[in-house]
A = this chain, B = another copy of it.
Amino acid sequence: MKEKELRRSLAVLPIGTVMKLTSLTARQIRYYEAQQLVFPERNEGNRRMYSLNDVDRLLEIKDYLADGVNVAGIKAIYDQQQKAAQAKATAQQKPLTDEDVRRILQDEFIRQGGLGHPTPGMQRPL
């Protein structure tokens, strides 16, 4: 079940796609980031890249706002959650080793090659 989590947290979506998936405007999405509600990555060219988890979170934010919760409230909720999660993580140390991550990355979603640009000549030997 670990590769699914990785997949969902891979930042692969540009803001245009996220706009369509959430029906939010770019303005809104960037504003929520400025308010520390989402934390998209940036690609080499400084463009925001979102994961499926980010999309989920944006949809959540939209729900909260529609329910009358303001941005500060939402941030408080997330800060709360994060503190709880952190405590839990501290409890059960070392749940996933670097070795695990490497193995997973070489798996289905990113098979032979994947994100770590291999040298151009790299090919399965025979």
Question: Which residues of A come within 8 Å of B, CB atoms?
Answer: 12-14, 16-17, 20-23, 43, 49, 59, 62-63, 66, 109-115, 117-118, 123-124
Contacts and interface: CB of A to CB of B under 8 A. Distances in A.
Contacts of A109: 21
A113 B20 contact: no
20 contacts: A12-B12, A12-B13, A12-B17, A13-B13, A13-B17, A14-B14, A14-B17, A17-B49, A20-B115, A21-B114, A21-B115, A22-B113, A23-B113, A23-B114, A23-B117, A59-B111, A59-B112, A59-B113, A62-B113, A66-B123
**How many copies altogether?**
2
Given A12-B13, A13-B13, A21-B109, 4 more contacts: A12-B21, A59-B112, A62-B112, A66-B124
